[in-house]
Structure formats: C-alpha cells, structure tokens
A and B are shown apart, each in its own frame.
Chain A
C-alpha cells in the first residue's frame, strides 16, 4: 500500500536552493521588526512584489503560509482554533488556517515567528474571500490597508479603461501608502530593475513549464509544478535569488530532456508515462504526496495545469515590462488566472490539451474556493465537447484534512484512467 512505501529521496540542487531561500526569507521576516524592515502582507494573485521590494519592504503571503502549514501537518489544529473563534466550517480553509496560526502565536511554517504587517495590500479583488480575509486581519493588526479594485475580465480582456483604472489606483493610493509606511520615496528606476529581473525569471519558468511538451515529460506540471512556481509566486519574483533559482531549475530540466528522463515523484523517476493529463484547480495540500502517488502509481504525468498560473499566465505571453512599470503591474493584476472569465479558462484548457498532446484532463474542485470552483462543471462539459476527450471530476479541499477522502478520490482517478485506457484500446 502507498502509505507503507518508503519515499524516494532525491534532491536536485534547485530544491536545496529553494529550501534555503525560503528559510532565509522567514528568518529575515522574524528579524524584520528589530531591523526596521517594513512588512507587507499580500496575496499571490496580482501580487506586486517588485513594487514592495522597491520600497525595501518584505512580502508575506498568507495563502502560501496556509498551504505550507497544510503540507507540514499543522493546518488541522489551526483550522480548529479558527473554528473555536467562530469561523464556520464552510469558510475557505486557507483563511481559517491563517487565522488559526495567528491565534496560535503566528509561528510561520518554518518555525519562526511572523512579524505583524505594516501594510495589508490587496491587489486583486476578484476573490471576495480575500477582501474579507484582510478585513479580519485589519481588525487584528489595526494597520493601514490598501484595496485595489481590479475589474473582472468579463469580456475576456482587460479594456484600456480598466488598465487605466488600476494604474491610477497604484499611483494615487498604493504608492503614497507605501511611501508612508516605509518612509521611502517611490524609486521608479529601482522598480524597473526589479521588473527586469522578474521578466528574466518568467522566461526561465516558461521554458520549464513548456518542457512538458516533450515525451517523456521531464516535469510533472502540477505536483512538481507547484514547487517550481513557489519562488516566483511568493517573495522572489524580481530578485537576484529568484533568477539564480530559475536558471538552475531550467538547466536541470533541460538535462532531463536531453537524457530522455521523466520527473522525480514520491516513488522515484517516472519515465514510463502512460497518461498525459491536464489538471484544473488547486491541489490538496494535507495529503499532497498521497494525492500525487494516486497519479504516479498509474504512470500518469501532468503536463499542464491551471493552478500553476494563479500567479501569472506567463506561458500565454505576459511578461513584466520594465519600460511601462505601472501599466505592466495593472496588466498583471488583471490577468491572473481566476480573474479570467469562464470562456478564457476553457480556451486555456483546450489549448493545453492540444499543445501538450494530453490524453485527458481532470478537475479538482474545492468547494470552499469559489474563485476556482464556480462554473467548473460547465467548463468540463465544454472542454469535453471541444476536444472530444472526456474529463474527470474529483472533490477535495485545500488544507482541511477532514475533506480529503483518499478511497473516494483514488477510486475516481483509477476509474478515469481505466476509462481512458479502455477508450484507447477500443479506438
């Protein structure tokens, strides 16, 4: 049985690098109040890390902390603490995990204490829960808060007036607020420098993600992919460390392509890939490895995923542009995956299935995350219609271990893959 298997231990240099980067970041965050470094709490979708960095401030991303707590087995107790404080069972479990962590001493996932925020920055309002989340944190920390209103891409594009509307808010609301909490003046040259580094990291990341077009795919673009996007989605986009990490990662992946090797999974290398899948929706974090094994044991590799685009749809061409600093940040805020309308998300899935020559696609629906789950069944039907490939639908949760039913999910995944095999056999 899966649980009894010894995990495959293999660490690429990029993995070691990432581990050290994250540890250093959290240590720096712990020292921040003593060192006088300001701290900005913000979310992954639409995060303005380059701007925050240009003010000498450090970003904290609560949903990254929540998912890390989930992976490290801490979320159950944090969620219980939040529920004791009155948060309902139906509330997004990232929120409850974060609130519970706060109530339990605000010790971050690596074991160091997180500093209080000097500013709460919400730069993507498409997720209504994010707004409520920061309202709750504002009550706790009583600190300045900036909410950027980001228009939804209802027509499948960000209209010029929408772009202008976001740019105005960055100029008139956000930059003055950052100047006030950091005591520094806006330095556009420094911002351009960070944006240039961001574009460089984005190029490397896209090369890594697109390597999955190879057979065998050298990466798993979902389970491995969430590790690959970790630095760029959190504190390291637009930094020298970020560039170094992605260069290293890219060279490792290119070496695997040259050698015809697959990715490393919890059970070792997956070179014999029988199913190439596209996945929509976030993963479950509390049983992450068990979830991954349900795929790798069946020789299924994920070649593209939408979740790895919540912090930027770089593979569709977006790059941070140092020549248009405020405009590019507006484009970025409005272009995050969950701000796309349903037809755009469907187009993206269809494109992935076609370009990555996928055998199937699977939706992991998280009921407590409406940003993702609303409309997913409709998307499933439409993608099936347009590609002629049947999709699979499973349900789990982000970081509440109570909502991961291993037998049920395994049953669905196995059934789906056997269905694909039966279809292929009949063709």
Chain B
C-alpha cells in the first residue's frame, strides 16, 4: 500500500501522520522533541506506522473477537515497548554507576536503582492490568521519570546514596535512551504483546496480515520549527502555517479561520474554501502566552501539564493577569498566591490572558469568520477552550468553534496532505 507521510517537528513535540493512497488517515504518532531532531522524526514516524498497522488490524479483530481485544492488545504492545525502554535505561544507569560513582557508594547505588526499576516495572504491569487507569503523559520520559523520582525519594539516604545522586544518574541516562535508536516498531513488539494477552488464536491471521502489509512511503513532507533539520530536500518542506490551514480545512471543511497555539508560537490563519491560506499573523520574537508558558506554570505548580486545564475549570472567577511573559510566569504565579488568590482562579486568569493575546493576533489576521478551528497542543486544554469561546462570543458573537480530538496532529496532517496532493497532481 502506498503511503504519504507528514512530519511536524515542533519545539515541544514531534508529530507524524500517515495517509493511505485515498488520502484517508491510517496512523498518527507523537513523541517529545529532543536534541536529536532526526531521531524525534524517526520515532514519530515509526509510531504513526504502528498505529497504521493497528488500524489495519482493527476491523478484522473487532469482527473476530469484539472491540475490547484490540484495545487490550494495543495496551500490551505499549507495555512491551515501555519495558524495553526501562530495561535499556536500567542498563545505562548501571553502567554509569560503574563508571562514575565512588567505590564506597557504587554497590548501594546499584541496589537502589534495581529497587527503583523493579518497582517501576511492577507499576507498569499494574497499569496494564488496570481497566481504568489514570490518564498520563504519552511520553516515556514523563512516565518513567515520574515513577523514578517517586521511588528515588523514598529510598534515598542523605548520608549515603542521596536523592541528588540518583536524580543525576537518571538525568544523564534518560537523554541517552531518548537519543539512541531503540527497536520499538510493530514487528518487534507485537509477538510479546500477543503472548501477554494469551495468544488469542482468532486474531492470528489478522495480525499476520498487518505485520506483513507493505506500507510503502511514497512521499514525505516535513513542517514545524525544526523542519530545516529534516532530512528532506527543500521541495518537501512546508511552512506549518500552510500545513495547519490545510489540515484544519480537511478536518472541518467549513473552516475559514484557524487558531494554532503551539509550544513557542501562536498563529492566526485565514483560509479559503480550498484550505489555501489567504492571510496570517503570528506572535513576534517573544513566545509569551504560548504552550511553553503553560509548561512553566505546570512546573512551578509541580503538576502535570495535562492537569492545568481541569484545575482551572474548577475556578469560580478569574484573576486578572496582565503579563503572559514566560520568563516571569513563576514570579507572576507566586505573587498572586502571596496575595491570597487561590490556584484555580489564578489559573483561570492565566488561561484567559493567553487567549486574549491570541485574540489580538486573530483580529490582526482579519478576525474570526463564521466557522473557526482551534489546533495545536493547547487546544487539548479545556480551560483555554472555555476562555476562547467566551472571548469569541464577547468580540464576534456566536461562531462555530471546531476542535478535533487529534488537534495536535493538524500540522502533520496538513504536511501529509501536501505530500498526497503533489503526487496525485
């Protein structure tokens, strides 16, 4: 099967979308952007092909064994990938101890990290067994890091193997794991996943077909801030503004205005009936009020990025925030807390401030048309969406606001569509 791939190398995350020859979405993949952009693109692409193969499996497995089995298989597959990465991380930390930790501490450090990794693996197995697990980050770095820190804090000894020593080992080795090409593809982990769920015979032929399916990459187009680093010729690179415009148009054909809030920039885009950009505005050199700002706020509050929106949703009022400067995010937050404001109301104010900034760009780009689409990572945040709805109503009146559950992939989708269009043209 001929495929068309779009890769969006963003400042925070790298996304990939695979389209079939008919232009339908086969798979999506995402990973955290890292110092090695080439590898980030490779991982996102591989993930997209994994979901594409699971997509090929879905109908047949559902017919043969019902919808739950495939979800179970996918979860087992994710567990297999995670355990492989944990195994590699454990090896690297052990090597690091041998190389760098003083002799009188090395045995203790080795015992500590074995205890941490054993506990983390057990936790992963429990996650797999849990029918309704808590939501968590999609990225290995976040999930592994969170467990490692918790267990390290529990077992650290200030007079021996200290918390700082354990954290230092993790920090060094997680970067190495992320930047080496581990085998995490479909063919490497599907057997182990099947074993874990008891090798159900009724899906054998479907799995075999998905494993053997030839997904031939006909053309790839890259976009995003790191696009210049992608190993493609210039003709295969598109601006993310065009990609978000085309992606949003494809998801919601009535779209005429697109707002994309990404990690380090915000873009207000107007498109015509064919998804071609007619006008755009984006933030200037300062990344105030972009996704990275929310990241800093989450760090300051010591909570996950995905928890910010729901927490802000609990507010009863919003605190007026004037500055969305990322550098001063922490100071702004602490000052408001010191004035006695509660966290929920401050967060509601912060989300409103971000959207106010986006509203200015929207106005400059030509306003909000009848139907508009919110894309990018921040569109996943319910408090940002709520503030956008309110401000849009106040400024422009009733408008149709579209948000796709896969809004973060809009740029990659647009890139894949460009690849598809060019070959078909």
Contacts and interface: CB of A to CB of B under 8 A. Distances in A.
A103 interface: no
B276 A412 contact: no
A426 B274 contact: yes
Contacts of B366: 381
Contacts of B241: 411, 415, 418-419
B255 to A, nearest CB: 16
A197 to B, nearest CB: 43
A114 to B, nearest CB: 32
A390 interface: yes
B285 A422 contact: no
A408 B284 contact: yes
Interface in B242-300: 242, 265, 274, 276-285
A405 B280 contact: no
Contacts, number: 53
Contacts of A412: 282
Contacts of A393: 281, 364
Contacts of B53: none
Interface string A370-398: 00000001000100100000100101000
A419 B280 contact: yes
Contacts of A381: 366
B277 A405 contact: no
Given A377-B364, A408-B265, A414-B239, A419 B276 contact: yes
Given A411-B225, A418-B239, A418-B242, A390 B285 contact: no
Interface string B216-249: 0000000001001000000000111110000000
Nearest to A381: B366
B225 A419 contact: no
B262 to A, nearest CB: 11
A403 B285 CA distance: 7
A384 B285 CA distance: 25
Contacts of B238: 418
Given A377-B364, A414-B239, A418-B242, A426 B281 contact: no
Contacts of A1: 228
B282 A426 contact: no
B282 A411 contact: yes
A419 B282 contact: no
A35 interface: no
Contact of B242 (A384, A395, A407, A419): A419
Given A418-B242, A426-B276, A405 B282 contact: no
Interface string A108-134: 000000000000000000000000000
Contact of B278 (A377, A390, A404): A390
Interface in A399-424: 403-405, 407-408, 411-412, 414-416, 418-419, 422-423
The interface residues of chain A, by DSSP majority, are classed as: helix
A419 B225 CA distance: 17
Nearest to B224: A411
Contact of A422 (B225, B276, B284, B364): B276
B225 A407 contact: yes
Query: What class of interface size applies to chain B in its complex with A?
Result: 20 to 34
Interface in B95-134: none
Given A407-B225, A414-B239, A415-B241, A390 B276 contact: no
A411 B239 contact: yes
A38 B45 CA distance: 70
B285 A419 contact: no
A80 B281 CA distance: 31
A390 B279 contact: yes
Nearest to A392: B280
Nearest to B278: A390
A420 to B, nearest CB: 10
A323 to B, nearest CB: 48
Contacts of B276: 419, 422-423, 426
B130 to A, nearest CB: 42
Contact of A415 (B239, B285, B364): B239
Contacts of B279: 384, 390
Nearest to B226: A407
A418 B283 CA distance: 19
A378 to B, nearest CB: 10
A408 B228 CA distance: 13
A32 B232 CA distance: 58
A419 B279 CA distance: 8
B135 to A, nearest CB: 32
A415 B267 CA distance: 11
Contacts of A390: 278-279
Contacts of A403: 285
Contacts of B285: 395, 403-405, 408
Nearest to B274: A426
A405 B264 CA distance: 13
Nearest to B280: A415
Nearest to A367: B284
Nearest to A377: B364
Contacts of B281: 393
Contacts of A411: 225, 239-241, 265, 282
B75 to A, nearest CB: 38
B314 to A, nearest CB: 35
Given A1-B228, A377-B364, A408-B265, A419 B277 contact: yes
B234 to A, nearest CB: 9
Interface in A91-150: none
A422 B285 CA distance: 26
Nearest to A407: B225
A405 B225 CA distance: 13
A381 B281 CA distance: 12
Contacts of A404: 285
Contacts of A395: 284-285
Interface in A274-326: none
A393 B282 CA distance: 9
Contacts of A422: 242, 276-277
A41 B283 CA distance: 38
A426 B242 CA distance: 14
Nearest to B279: A390
Contacts of B225: 407, 411
A5 to B, nearest CB: 14
Nearest to A384: B279
Contacts of A377: 364
A422 B225 CA distance: 20
Contacts of A407: 225
A374 to B, nearest CB: 15
Contacts of A415: 239-242, 277, 280
11 contacts: A403-B285, A405-B285, A411-B239, A411-B282, A414-B239, A415-B240, A415-B241, A415-B242, A415-B277, A419-B280, A422-B277
A-B pairs, 6 with minimum CB distance: A405-B285, A415-B239, A415-B241, A395-B284, A419-B277, A422-B276
Interface of B: 225, 228, 238-242, 265, 274, 276-285, 364, 366
Given A416-B280, A419-B239, 6 more contacts: A390-B279, A411-B241, A414-B239, A419-B241, A419-B276, A419-B277
